[in-house]
Each structure stands twice: as structure tokens, then as C-alpha cells.
Chain A
Amino acid sequence: MSACAFPSLPTRARRSWTAWAVGLAVALAALVLVAPALRWLFWDATWVGQSRAACGPAGACWAMITARAPQILLGFYPAGHGWRVGLAVAMLAVGLAPLAWRRRAGLTMLTAPVGALACLALMGGAGILPSVPSAYWGGLALNLIVGAVSAIFALPIGILLSLARRSTLPVIRILASAYVEAVRAAPLIVVLFAAAVLVPLLIPPQWSLDKLTRAIVAITFFEAAYMAEAVRGGLMAVPQGQREAARALGLKGWQVLVFVVLPQALRTATPALVNSFIGLLKDTSLIYVIGVLDITGVLRNAVSDYAWQGLEPEAYIFVGLTFWLLCFGLSRWSAALERRAARAQGAPS
């Protein structure tokens, strides 16, 4: 496959010296840059303190992060109710749990929306617990909730859109294609603006949704278009013979779809879908723009505090590292899934 897979070729002996020299120069430059950066990040850094004055001049000042840790995690959720946020995130995890269960992964389509609704109910109170308006939700938990809830509802919409795009009915096909292409042409920030200013204008005043719900709905319908493309790739990869065989066995149209075509299509589409989930999680870092206090919003507030002024680099580097760890973890997990699937495919029957 790769060039390095042929170590026995005679050409390996005459390596290109220019390539080595260029590579060495690049590596040296990287080292010269990386060593002081690591020193600043960790070695000379201050980890705890009550204000910027506690921090040394040579290193990063992480004291702000440790001092504001509760807000960074939970936002301004009322004290004493933090357990609800923890339980809400756990509900999302429970809803997604069947994914790990290879034979019953399809069950997730039913459990995940239930988990998402349970999560939102816990956060808001649902009339049973003391009510907490969404203006108080925030922190990293909010990014996770917005990301997971939008992903859970975007996937079914995406599947429906991709099926509609392959429909034999021209009107349905054209409408779905137009929607997917238009949304994919638009930047997310324009869609968020539209949700913030356009939607309140076009719906009756008595239906008014709060800022956060509008953002979640906007992200859901935005990402659904991307998921539709991922699923469409999977649908195109299902051989026509599978459908015909299923019909020949006497399955009805919807049975062919649910039991034969979709399971195979979704399995093929999994890597692309996980990529769009990662994209969605990254996109949630943008919701602070409409005034929601997610992890970025909380830290922007923190650096405008007099005690922590001028710590923007530390704040954003921390947010970046947090997102990076989450996304990198997800992408490793997806790569492991892909390898497992490849092994299962390649295994002798």
C-alpha cells in the first residue's frame, strides 16, 4: 500500500539526501519552537492563586482555570443542583450506550432520543424539580449537551433527508436536494444569526423559543444536511441485489429499508458519521457568539474580570486543549471501530 511497505526494494539504499536535509531542518525548527512552548505551558506555569498577581511572569497562569473550575464545568447552574447536570450528561451516555453493543446498535435510534429528552428535562426541571431557566446553563457541560442533543436529533432527520434524496418521487427528491445543498453552502454562523433574528420574526409571538433552544434547533437542522450526505454515501454502497433479494423473500417495502438496507448503509457510513459528530462537537464552540455562556463564554467573562485581565491566551489555549482531547478521543475511537469492522469483513467465513 504505502511506499514504506516495500523495504526490500533496492532503491531504499539510495535515499534522497535533500529530503533528509529538509526534514532535519524542519524537525530542528519544530524543536526550537516546541521546547520553550512546553516550558511556558507547564514548567514555569502557576497553577493556583486568587488573582493574576499570584502568577510568575515567565510562565502560563492557570490559576484562573483552577479558581473558576466550577463555572468552567457547569456555568452558572444554581449551587447545590450540580448533580442534576451530572445526571443529565449521564442520561445522554445511557441513551447512547447501545452503540457499544454491536448486535443491538440499532436500538440507539430509540434510546438516544429518550436520553436526550431526559437530559433536557433534568436540566430545566420539567415542573417537578425546581425550574432552572436555560440562561443559567453553561460551561463545558452545555457544550456536551448541545452537541449530543443536536447529534441525536440530527441523525434521524439526516437519514430521512438522504432517503428523500433517493426517492423516485421527483417533488420529494428535488425538495430534499435543494435543502441539503442550500444548507451545506451556508456557513454555520449565518444559520445561527438566522435562528437568532429571523426565526423570531417569522413565527407567531406566542411560540417564542429561548436563545439556547433556537441555537440547538438551528445546529440540529444544519448538521442534519451533513449527516444526510454521509448516509447517502452509505446508501449508494448497498448493492441493488440486497434489495431485490429482500423483496424476493417477501419483505415489504419498509421492511426492506429497516432490516436490510439501512443497517448496511449505516455501517458503511459510520466513519463519515463519526467525522460529522466530531465536526458538530467542534461547532458547539461557536455558540458563545449568540451570547450563550458555554465554556468559551464563561472564560471570556473570566478574562474581562479585573483580577484576571490579560489572560486571553491561557483561557483560549485551555478551551482549545479541552476540545482537542474530546475530539481526538472520539477520532481514535472511530478509527478503532473502523479497524474492528475491517477485521470482521476480512475474516474468513
Chain B
Amino acid sequence: MSRPPVSLMTPARLAGWAWQALALVGLGLVLVMAARTGAANLRASGLASGFDFLNRAAGFDIAESAIPYSPRASNARVFAVGMVNTLRVTALAGLFATALGVGFGVALRARAPWMRGLARAYVELTRNMPLPILLLVLYSLLAMAPPPREAIELGGLGFVSNRGLYLPRIEWRWGSGTALAGAGLALAALVGIWRAAPTRRVAMALSISWLGFCGLGLVLSVSGLNLPRPQGFGFVGGSVLSPPLLALVAALSLYSGGYIAEVVRGGLAAVDAGQVEAAQALGLSPIQALRWVTLPQALRVAAPPLASQYLNLAKNASLAIVVGYPDLVALFGGTVLNQTGQAVETLSMILGFYLVLSLSLSGLINLWAARQARWAVR
């Protein structure tokens, strides 16, 4: 095989190689210098390095944790508590933000001008307000709620006080883990029925009987309702959403809701007007047209920016520190860092968590976009 000799040595190519080598050498020098200075500074201040601190006992208590925790647990456990708390806030706020965003996003394109105006007012109000300040406003307003003795009663089921929102807790006969697994299985079976059933009628009949069966299971597995009761200076029973958690979830939902509304509006605007007219010509009601024609197409356009909004939400959950909710950054970048002084290790672990979150979400979106593109070609 004979090819004409390709010269690797043109001036432009040489310059290219030189630039790249320069960039690598420069970066390497900066890193080596930083590492040397860091090591010297660490020696001077007598701080440890490495990840041994993860196995040591944390020695401090955490106000709220979704997984079992005690001050004797290790710093690695603190990391897990922080991750779970961050993800819990993100999931809760994501749910409410989606509801707000889709609702107001559709309202932004409503026919009634006052409805558009209302939605516009919401979007402009939330999008132009810094999130930390919104969070502080909501938190300070919650602190003005009455003390537990004068708490506002919510129809005998719950209470609002400056200690938080007290709600009834369902007692599961076989534990809440079993209940969650059961719900997941029931949902999976429902999806399976709709996939496998030959016709819509059969699917409908099967899923109604399946849901009836699940309802029976639900009734059997609930052993009781634990209502919060006032006692002394507080409440006993039920479950409590603390003021920091409430303020955080409310602020994140309101804030992200405004951005999601704009994304949904943009997606709806991208749907060809002919589609809406065709749906109307077929006799679909406006709600039906929205449900079956407009929204599915709009979501296809809106999915990538939507994903980045959810990612922003997860990152913004780090503002928890402003109101003292123990999220990953507050626990690990705050308390553990202060106690151990191991800034490099703690901060890089936090960065790693967010990097994994971000990369996996964008990976999912890319997969989804590739699938969409394949369908579009067909």
C-alpha cells in the first residue's frame, strides 16, 4: 500500500503541537506547585491528609436524617446522610416545581388575558428574585407562625406552628420498606398490563381489577394512622416537616417553577399551529388537544432544558446552609470540614457527588435524545 507521504511537519501543525504541549506543561506546573505548597502548608499547620477521617466517629448530632444516624456514626455515614437529605429535598421540590411549572407554563399561553397576566406575574416575580433571599423571606415568615400552644389546626389532621408542619403518619403493618416495595411492584405490574394487553378494553378491565386488588392490599397493610397531638410545649405522634425543610422546599419549588414554566411555554410555542388547528378540526376539546396533541410534542422539545432545570434544582438545594437544613454541603463542607480541617478531601468528595449527578443526568438526556432522533427518522 503506497500513500503519498504526508508531512507531519507543516508550520501550522508544529505550532499546534507547541500550543498543546505548552498548555499541558503549564497546567502540570501549576498543579505541582499547588500540591507542594499545599503539602508544606498542611505540615506547618499539623493537619492530616488522606481519607482516614471517613472511618472516624463524627461526634456531632444531625437535626434531621432520613436514614439511621447517631453521633457515634462515622464521617462516611455523615456523607450518606447529606446525600440522602439533598436528594430528598431535590425530589420533593422537583415534584412541586413541575406541577407549578407545567400549570403556569400552560397558563402563559392561555386565551384569557387575565390568566396570562397572572402567570406572567408569577414567572417575573420568581425569576427575578435571588433564591437565597426568597429562601430567607419564606423562612423568616415561617418563624412568625404561632408557637405550638396556639398552633393552627388543619382539620384535626395536622398543625402549623413555628416548629414546623405536623402531619399524620401512616403506620404500616409490615414496615414502610415493604410498603414502598409493594407500591413499586404494583406500579410495575400496571405498566406491564398496559404493555402486554392486546386491546385498550382488555387493559382497562385488567387494570381496574388489579387496582382493586392493590387497594385491598393497601387496606390490609395499614395498621393505623398516627395523628399528631399537642402535649406540653410541643406535639407527640405524627410526622414533622421542620421549618428549614419547609422553607427550602417551598423556595426551591417556587423558584424552579418559574423557570420550568418558561421552558414549558417555549415548548408549547414550538408546536406547529397547524397541529392545534387539526386537533380542533377533529373535534377534540381544548383540554384533550392539550393532553394528546400539544403537550407530548412540547415535552419533546422541552426535555433537554427541563433536565438542566432539574439539575439546577439539585445544585440550588445546596442553599440549605442559609436556613440550617443539613444537606450534603452544610454537613460535609460545613461541619465535617471545620472539625477535621481536611478541605481538599471534603470539597472534592462534594464536587464528585455533583459531578456524578450532572454527568448521569446529561447522559440520560443524550440517550433519550438519540432515541427520539431514531423515531423521527422512521
Contact = CB atoms under 8 A, between A and B. Distances in A.
Q: Which interface residue of B24, B114, B130, B277 has the most chain A CB atoms within 10 A?
A: B130
A126 interface: no
Interface string A15-35: 110111001001100100000
Contacts of A313: 137, 140-141, 144
B269 A190 contact: no
B84 to A, nearest CB: 17
A327 interface: yes
A295 to B, nearest CB: 9
Given A186-B351, A197-B343, A18 B287 contact: yes
B286 A2 contact: no
Given A201-B38, A319-B133, 15 more contacts: A2-B109, A6-B273, A15-B111, A19-B287, A20-B112, A27-B115, A171-B24, A175-B27, A186-B351, A193-B347, A197-B337, A200-B41, A201-B37, A203-B34, A331-B127
A271 to B, nearest CB: 13
A108 B127 CA distance: 27
A240 interface: no
A285 B318 CA distance: 15
Interface residues of A, number: 61
Contacts of A197: 337, 343, 347
B286 A198 contact: no
Interface stretch (B66-74, B147-155, B353-361): B353-361
A208 B126 CA distance: 39
A175 B26 CA distance: 12
Contacts of B343: 194, 197-198, 201
Contact of A324 (B115, B129, B316, B347): B129
A324 to B, nearest CB: 5
Interface string B315-340: 11011011000000100010001000
Interface string A194-208: 100110111111000
* Interface size range of chain B in the complex: 35 or more
A198 B346 CA distance: 10
A324 B34 contact: no
A184 B230 CA distance: 46
B61 interface: no
A319 B351 CA distance: 30
Nearest to B45: A201
A214 to B, nearest CB: 13
A2 B70 CA distance: 56
Given A23-B115, A204-B37, A186 B141 contact: no
Contacts of A189: 318-319, 321, 329, 333
Interface string B127-144: 111111110110011011
B99 interface: no
Contacts of B355: 182, 185-186
Interface in A267-294: 278, 282-283, 285-286, 289
24 contacts: A2-B109, A3-B109, A3-B273, A4-B109, A15-B111, A27-B115, A169-B19, A169-B20, A186-B355, A187-B316, A197-B337, A198-B343, A201-B343, A202-B35, A282-B131, A286-B132, A289-B132, A296-B132, A313-B141, A320-B129, A320-B134, A323-B130, A324-B125, A331-B127
A167 B106 CA distance: 41
B166 to A, nearest CB: 23
A185 B354 contact: yes
Contacts of B19: 169, 172
Contacts of A331: 124, 127-128
B130 A186 contact: no
B170 interface: no
B56 to A, nearest CB: 20
A93 B362 CA distance: 39
A168 interface: yes
Contact of B124 (A3, A323, A328): A328
B331 to A, nearest CB: 13
B129 A1 contact: no
B131 A316 contact: no
A202 B267 CA distance: 46
A348 B160 CA distance: 62
